[in-house]
Structure 1
Amino acid sequence: MKSYFKHYLIFSTLIILSISGFAQVKPVQLDKKIKKQVVEHIVEKLNTNYVYLDTAVKMGEFIRHQLSKGVYDTIKTPAVFAAQLTKDLLSVYHDGHLSVRFYPDLKLDADTKDADAEKKEAERFLKFRKSVNLGFDKAEILPGNIGYLKIRGFFEPDAEAKAMATAALRFVSNSQYLILDLRSNGGGDPDMVKYICGFFFKNRTHLNDLYTRKDKSTAAYWTTPDSILNTLKTIPIYVLTSKKTFSGGEELTYDLQTQKRAIIIGETTGGGAHPVQPFAAGYGFVANIPYARAINPITKTNWEATGVKPDIAVEADKALDTAIVNIKNSQHQ
């Protein structure tokens, strides 16, 4: 079954808002046997998939240790058990994409064929996409012919999402300057990041690579230059960031910064460079495990744990005003 849930996960700032309509919680009677089986499933999935094997081993050893010491014995509810497992895993290494959740109605088994469930999942996802306007919050022209585009997240660049991105960029394409507001951007699909970047470069540009540990494969991300909105290829770009800017929002920021295509203004971002995938851990528990890491072709590294550092550091709520002042100053140089 095609899993739309993966896109909920990577669109991380919005998942909390959407998941309440995803499934109704069924009661699970937790006992030592169930807890042990869930822990062992998580350990196996970590060891097989987590981006760093040595860290995966340490995480697995720690939650096994916690189990054997009786730390989980008094936990009665699945949500609390999932939260404690997440806390313990992150105590070994704080990967912002890693978590354990309880979604009892979610089916992740590739062998599970349920056309009705798949249809309902697709309908929920479509409704969710529309409710957040496919991640595009605002497009406007500020005084001084400054284009302003606020993007909260990135969905898979299907025809509908591409049309929305193109429409938003077309609206600001006659501006003299462009401000991309990513202060509330929690991430999303790297293919949409690549698609948007295609409007900002004259030539085909190597943005990023994703290395998957399990099969030791590398996927390269290059822009496909847009041939319609040519003014965007040279427009000066300012990117606004905050501590909440995360994952795909950080990738767009980092891509533009390392290519010297934008000035970054705001706060150091959250520091999540590992794409995530959900894995069933039994009894309705889901382990959201980072399975790959980004490798920038220029820096040969990424923003994991460190975040993307702004070129002009200011508090997030002052970033827009600072960008406007910076633009006005540049006009007088």
Structure 2
Amino acid sequence: MTLHHEILETALARITAGYVFPEQTAGIDAVIRRRLAESAYDGLDERELCERVTADLQRACPDKHLRLLWSEEPQSMEEEPEEVSRGRFEAFSRANNHGVRRVEQLDGNIGYLDLSMIAPAELGGPLFGAAMHLLAATDALVVDLRRCLGGSPEGVQLWCSYFFPGDETHLNDIYDRATDSIRQYWTVGHLAGPRYLDRPVAVLTSAVTFSGGEELAYNLKVLERATLIGETTRGGAHPTSRIPVSPHVAVTVPTARSINPVTGTNWEGVGVLPDLALPADRALEAALEHLREQLG
């Protein structure tokens, strides 16, 4: 068996065992094996293999979290201790200021919050509260998710909580295949900063906005708490595990799925649609105009 065959056998086994839609795994397996039999992956290096297999996976099942990923740095094939992986992610989150890129007061007393990621609540909570303290006196707010690539469901829950009163707003549910259970996410009763209520909010989106960033936008849209301005987002709604299958290749397997309590569905494969669609580089200007009209 060639190295490529070994990588794909391991990846397919992981997908079959863990994918959140088990009824689709047989079809995925058949497509990749047919491509193998057609010699579609012969002569490729590992990076090219990842690109080709990912394209085939997503033709078989249009789930943007279902991928093979190549990394230049070799990764351990041993299961990493939880405290090691947690420590690495905590360092990454700190290095990125827990996702908070900018907090600013713009002309007309409009606040601006720019998020590059949604940090877990236990890491980013104090900084989220500090940001909301800085924005507390503004008359309207822009939340910029155009560069937000994802993050933690608990972090999304915490950010959303600042825009609703109390702990009685049902935000999202996540079904987990491994436990065959559903976890509900509601707004949080106690926050580290002031809530942002009864004032207009605009959320900026782009074709780059992904995963947890999409959930934040989607929740605020369907609960009619914000106006979305910009581009349709990338379309990834499934919490995902990343599993090494060779020193330089990992498979990402969606193991859970979001179920919005208002719509009964999510944004997987279709993205979050803006209320006002226009190129992302024009979204901030349009949002400020929209908010100024709201303020009169």
Using the size of structure 2 for normalisation, the TM-score is: 0.91
Distance 2:126 2:2 in 1: 50
Amino acid across the alignment from 2:240: V
The match for 1:268 among 232, 238, 241 is 232
Partner of 1:40: 9
Alpha-carbon offset, residue 124 of structure 1: 5.1
Distance 2:195 2:243 in 1: 43
Partner of 2:243: 279
Q: Kindly tell me: are residues 321 and 113 of structure 1, through their superposed partners in 2, closer, same or farther at Cα, counting changes over 3 Å? A: closer
Partner of 1:257: 221
- Are positions 1:141 and 2:109 aligned together? no
Q: Kindly tell me: are residues 192 and 113 of structure 1, through their superposed partners in 2, closer, same or farther at Cα, counting changes over 3 Å? A: closer
Alpha-carbon offset, residue 212 of structure 1: 1.7
Distance 1:213 1:330 in 2: 44
Partner of 1:303: 267
Partner of 1:197: 160
Partner of 2:285: 321
Aligned length: 294
- Are positions 1:169 and 2:138 aligned together? no
- Are positions 1:98 and 2:66 aligned together? yes
Alpha-carbon offset, residue 93 of structure 1: 2.3
Distance 1:99 1:79 in 2: 12
Q: What RMSD in Å do the two structures reach over aligned CA positions?
A: 2.2
Q: Kindly tell me: are residues 278 and 114 of structure 1, through their superposed partners in 2, closer, same or farther at Cα, counting changes over 3 Å? A: closer
The match for 1:187 among 134, 147, 150 is 150
Alpha-carbon offset, residue 250 of structure 1: 0.7
- Are positions 1:234 and 2:198 aligned together? yes
Distance 2:188 2:86 in 1: 29
Q: Kindly tell me: are residues 45 and 136 of structure 1, through their superposed partners in 2, closer, same or farther at Cα, counting changes over 3 Å? A: same
Distance 2:224 2:288 in 1: 19
Distance 1:114 1:247 in 2: 23
Question: What SS does the aligned partner of 1:233 have?
Answer: coil
Distance 1:108 1:179 in 2: 43
Distance 1:122 1:51 in 2: 23
Distance 1:126 1:201 in 2: 28
Question: What SS does the aligned partner of 1:220 have?
Answer: strand
Question: What SS does the aligned partner of 2:196 have?
Answer: helix
- Are positions 1:156 and 2:120 aligned together? yes
Contact 1:147 1:172 in 2 (8 A): yes
Using the size of structure 1 for normalisation, the TM-score is: 0.81
Distance 1:108 1:172 in 2: 45
Partner of 1:19: none
Worse-matched range after superposition: 305-314 or 278-287: 278-287
- Cα displacement string for residues 127-163 of structure 1 (whole angstroms, at most 9, x for unaligned residues): 43333222111000011111100001112222x4111
Alpha-carbon offset, residue 257 of structure 1: 1.0
Q: Kindly tell me: are residues 277 and 266 of structure 1, through their superposed partners in 2, closer, same or farther at Cα, counting changes over 3 Å? A: same
Alpha-carbon offset, residue 285 of structure 1: 2.7
Distance 1:122 1:297 in 2: 30
Alpha-carbon offset, residue 283 of structure 1: 4.9
Percent of counterpart pairs with the same letter?
Answer: 34
**Structure 1 portions without partners, runs of 5+:** 1-31
- Cα displacement string for residues 260-297 of structure 1 (whole angstroms, at most 9, x for unaligned residues): 11111111111111111112324543111111111000
- Are positions 1:312 and 2:276 aligned together? yes
Contact 2:125 2:192 in 1 (8 A): no
Distance 2:55 2:276 in 1: 33
Partner of 1:243: 207
**Structure 2 portions without partners, runs of 5+:** none
Distance 2:47 2:195 in 1: 50
- Are positions 1:71 and 2:58 aligned together? no
